Structure 1
Amino acid sequence: MTSPFVKLIQPGVGPTGSVTQQTERAVRASLDGRRKGLRALLPFVGPAVIASVGYMDPGNFATNLQAGSTYGYQLLWVVLISNLVAMLFQSMSAKLGIVTGRNLAELCREQFSPSVVIAMWIASELAAIATDIAEFLGGALGISLLFHVSLVVGMGATGVVTFAILSLDKRGFRPLELVIAGLVAVIGLSYLYELVIAPPDWHAALLGTLVPHLHGASAVTLAVGIVGATIMPHTLYLHSRLTQTRTLARNDGERRRLLRFSNKEVVIALGFATFVNLAMVMMSASVFGKSGSGVADVSVAYHTLIPLLGVGAATVFLVSLLASGISSSAVGTMAGQVIMQGFVGFRIPIWVRRLITAVPAFVVGLNGNVMDAMIGSQVVLSLILPLPLVALVVVSSRRSVMGDFVASRKTVLAAHVATVSIVLLNVVLIWQMVS
């Protein structure tokens, strides 16, 4: 049976005259040069916006909240560099789908040995579960605090809303993209509001963004968590899937134009995500650092915000968490489908996928510390992250796969440096855990 997600990424799905088909006609007009400027770019906006959700999920809330409340502005540079690295790899992932018409998981199955493929699939499934723990619990916690219901009710509501969003694929790819974009806008506007009512120390923020500080073992652990919360393994698989059939290029000239539009979208979408992540840390440093609260828990942050900034600011904080949890949970489910179909060619109904990744989150939510689980999941993601990074660099460097669009030496060098740096951070983390 064909998974519902397959329809999400097929062109032409939806009734005649639907928003999806209107987008497809606009895309073709842009490629033919009949649309100019911003009007030419808008039809291509979608894949990177969906991928950017992984960079603003509740795991980011957890690590950024702890970073700002514990270290002030000192770890802003980690957030900035992580997001810049993310732009590089997401653009490489999008390029893979546009040029080859296949996604990263499919190419891994074709290019690597069966044992490597199985190992990568298992690791990627574990990453999907770890991702959903943070995303699902974040959305549930937002509902629980905002509407004063139990966490169990919040988890149930998150599951229902997530599935409703995923069901939009029946109308084509564009409605889902628009809903996700709306939720992303809610997150960004929420933190813009928080910065207005709680202005940070801009001088300290600039210094923390540009001058690296990493003092103590706990700072290293948190830095690795920030990397894991920022550069998400599942978004690398998903982005290539979203671009592989969304717009089919008829020749190399159109592929080059598609790549230019795709790169612009990546910079804009992930640039917005960078602003959100920096704003999270600055808000935490400005509000909780001054009070000396040392807040590292979402629920404590909400209750602490009420006397410090008022009920309105606390409510906006929860609304942003809720939008983050629901949108990222939907995107994580989509990525899980891509991972399974690409690596092992096996499809399951999307509601089954939603259930599989939600069960561990339910178990953790009922039996563990939610905040510790959210931060721990980001460390797990950082440990698994080198696998898709290495695979993406290797595949993108092979002329047999990419043809004339093979990655340049500068791109490969930058990707190697970023990957090695992440691996070294993980080695330091493991050494700290052992010792």
Structure 2
Amino acid sequence: MNKQKTRAYKFLRYWKKLGPGLITGSSDDDPSGIATYTQAGAAYGLNTLWTAFITFPLMAAIQEMCARIGLVTGHGLTGTLKKHYARPVLYLMLVFSFPAIVMNIGADIAGMGAVGNLLFPSIEPGYFSVLFTVMLLFSIIYFPYQKIAAVLKYLCAVLLVYLIVPFLYKQDWLTILKDTIVPTIQFNKNYLTVLVAILGTTISPYLFFWQANMEVEEIKHRKKKLIVNKRVTEEMKRDVDFGMFFSNLVMFFIILTAGTVLFKGGIHQVDTVEQAAESLRPLAGDAAYWLFAVGVIGTGLLAIPVLSGSLSYIFCETFDWEEGLDKKFNEARPFYIIIAISLILGLSLNYIGITPIQALVYSAILYGLTAPVLIAIILHICNNKKIMGDFTNKRTANILGGFTLLLMTTAAVTLIYLQIAQ
């Protein structure tokens, strides 16, 4: 009994230490990500499982660099760009980031509304979308950062539902292991499009900005002035690694669920999260259906504050406006107004003829175009001694970062080619 209490105590201590890394990683598995991973599993079975294995170290490397930039400079990624790089680069990122993030928000809101309608069919999806938007906006404006961070961290637990669904029926774990470790690539347009979509969903530029800014927010809330040293950077790295591992673990199980339930059940085309939830019901039972549907709503509540917050930080650091989730509305009006505008614009996409899937495609294209440029800049910053001092990249970070840059550049070129070839 004492051993159980000791283990529980150690786990709680470890959980309390987890911060921006966990929230960043978990927000990556938003409703639009769920739709992407589900489509991959439904269309190609277990043939895309290996992407979760491959992308983990790449995500962790880039997010660790972003976190380190925030810790060392005391500025978010936008603030660091503004201070050390040409303004056109900054404005270019702003131009691409704004529509991509708004479309992502719109797709997530629509997905949550549709799943809400599945749970309560008598209420139209549009009403749920409006309800979730108002609820999120009120929470972001009314509650201070520390409460928001605490709520976001516990919302991460909602993602655990995706780890339950595959265990509700028999699995061939040897086949699953093989498809996880051995990459399978099909050189056709549809398969390559899915791969590019997975990369754009997992290594998303808005997460770079959020990670750096959240490290700055964490510094502000420490009782003592933070002295950045090896111990601090190692703690940050553990947090980021755990968050990215958690994100990819959830991604793995979503693909696994779709690959073993939908693909084997003959359902190979799933375009929306509500279709994914609905298609699970006759094949895996009500338990899987309800878990999946509740998970979509929970991940939306987690991801949308991250998306809108990232966009607001980008704008406010660009134009030197007062910023911060820890500030009250009257102390940082522009910051909260941008969040409100992004949520309202995202909601409005449902009423102007842009479907959630179209929004996902457009945002993926914009993410795919900006990610390589941002990764190149992040690598340059993290190897610049004038900015990072003694905390420049080590060889392993540069190898992983360089490979990520190469991979995302290839994905961007492939994405452009696939769009032109249509």
TM-score, with normalisation over the residues of structure 1?
Answer: 0.85
Q: How does 1:52-71 map to 2 (within 5 A)?
A: 52-71=25-44
Q: 1:87: which partner in 2?
A: 60
1:194 aligns with one of 165, 190, 201: 165
Q: Give, as a single letter, the amino acid of the residue that structure 1 aligns with 2:22.
A: V
Q: 2:397: which partner in 1?
A: 411
Shift in CA distance, 230/152, structure 1 to aligned 2, threshold 3 Å: same
Shift in CA distance, 280/115, structure 1 to aligned 2, threshold 3 Å: same
2:174 aligns with one of 190, 193, 203: 203
Using the alignment, how far apart are the partners of 2:346 and 2:243 within structure 1? 30
Q: Give, as a single letter, the amino acid of the residue that structure 1 aligns with 2:395.
A: R
Structure 1 residue 304 corresponds to structure 2 residue 279: yes
Shift in CA distance, 156/404, structure 1 to aligned 2, threshold 3 Å: same
On the 8 A contact 1:229/1:378 being kept in 2, the answer is: yes
Using the alignment, how far apart are the partners of 2:260 and 2:366 within structure 1? 29
Structure 1 residue 350 corresponds to structure 2 residue 336: yes
Shift in CA distance, 272/393, structure 1 to aligned 2, threshold 3 Å: same
Using the alignment, how far apart are the partners of 2:212 and 2:356 within structure 1? 32
Q: Give, as a single letter, the amino acid of the residue that structure 1 aligns with 2:300.
A: G
On the 8 A contact 1:79/1:226 being kept in 2, the answer is: no
Q: 1:185: which partner in 2?
A: 157
Alpha-carbon distance, 1:422 to partner:
0.8
Unpaired runs of 5+ residues, structure 2, are: 1-8, 323-333
Q: Give, as a single letter, the amino acid of the residue that structure 2 aligns with 1:313.
A: A
Using the alignment, how far apart are the partners of 2:170 and 2:148 within structure 1? 34
How many percent identity over aligned positions? Answer: 21
Using the alignment, how far apart are the partners of 2:10 and 2:254 within structure 1? 32
Q: 1:96: which partner in 2?
A: 69
Q: 1:335: which partner in 2?
A: 310
Using the alignment, how far apart are the partners of 1:310 and 1:304 within structure 2? 10
* 1:47-99 Cα distance to aligned partner (Å, 9 max, x none): 11221133211121111111000001111122322232111111111111111
Structure 1 residue 176 corresponds to structure 2 residue 148: yes
Structure 1 residue 291 corresponds to structure 2 residue 265: yes
Shift in CA distance, 141/404, structure 1 to aligned 2, threshold 3 Å: same
On the 8 A contact 1:134/1:373 being kept in 2, the answer is: yes
Deviates more, 1:313-322 or 1:240-249: 240-249
Alpha-carbon distance, 1:40 to partner:
6.2
Using the alignment, how far apart are the partners of 1:281 and 1:257 within structure 2? 36
Alpha-carbon distance, 1:212 to partner:
1.6
Q: 1:18: which partner in 2?
A: none
Q: 2:183: which partner in 1?
A: 212
Q: 1:22: which partner in 2?
A: none
On the 8 A contact 2:368/2:411 being kept in 1, the answer is: no
Q: 2:206: which partner in 1?
A: 234
Using the alignment, how far apart are the partners of 2:208 and 2:166 within structure 1? 30
Q: Give, as a single letter, the amino acid of the residue that structure 2 aligns with 1:285.
A: G
Q: 1:314: which partner in 2?
A: 289
Quote the RMSD (CA, aligned, Å).
2.2
Using the alignment, how far apart are the partners of 2:408 and 2:69 within structure 1? 22
Aligned residues: 396
Q: How does 1:341-420 map to 2 (within 5 A)?
A: 341-346=316-321, 348-364=334-350, 367-420=353-406
Q: Give, as a single letter, the amino acid of the residue that structure 1 aligns with 2:158.
A: V
Unpaired runs of 5+ residues, structure 1, are: 1-35
* 1:368-405 Cα distance to aligned partner (Å, 9 max, x none): 43334335533432232223212211111110000111
Structure 1 residue 244 corresponds to structure 2 residue 222: no
Alpha-carbon distance, 1:414 to partner:
2.0
On the 8 A contact 1:125/1:339 being kept in 2, the answer is: no
Using the alignment, how far apart are the partners of 1:337 and 1:310 within structure 2? 41
Q: Give, as a single letter, the amino acid of the residue that structure 2 aligns with 1:115.
A: P
Alpha-carbon distance, 1:205 to partner:
2.0
Using the alignment, how far apart are the partners of 1:251 and 1:330 within structure 2? 26
Shift in CA distance, 409/349, structure 1 to aligned 2, threshold 3 Å: closer
On the 8 A contact 2:312/2:338 being kept in 1, the answer is: no
Shift in CA distance, 351/156, structure 1 to aligned 2, threshold 3 Å: farther
On the 8 A contact 1:192/1:279 being kept in 2, the answer is: yes
Match of 1:286, SS? helix
Structure 1 residue 426 corresponds to structure 2 residue 412: yes
On the 8 A contact 1:90/1:239 being kept in 2, the answer is: yes
Using the alignment, how far apart are the partners of 1:402 and 1:250 within structure 2? 18
Using the alignment, how far apart are the partners of 2:127 and 2:134 within structure 1? 11
Q: Give, as a single letter, the amino acid of the residue that structure 2 aligns with 1:263.
A: K
* 1:199-237 Cα distance to aligned partner (Å, 9 max, x none): 443222222221222211111111111111111211111
Alpha-carbon distance, 1:110 to partner:
0.9
* 1:237-293 Cα distance to aligned partner (Å, 9 max, x none): 1111111242367575x5322111111111212211111000000000111011111
Match of 1:74, SS? coil
* 1:9-59 Cα distance to aligned partner (Å, 9 max, x none): xxxxxxxxxxxxxxxxxxxxxxxxxxx976764443221122113321112
Q: Give, as a single letter, the amino acid of the residue that structure 1 aligns with 2:44.
A: Y
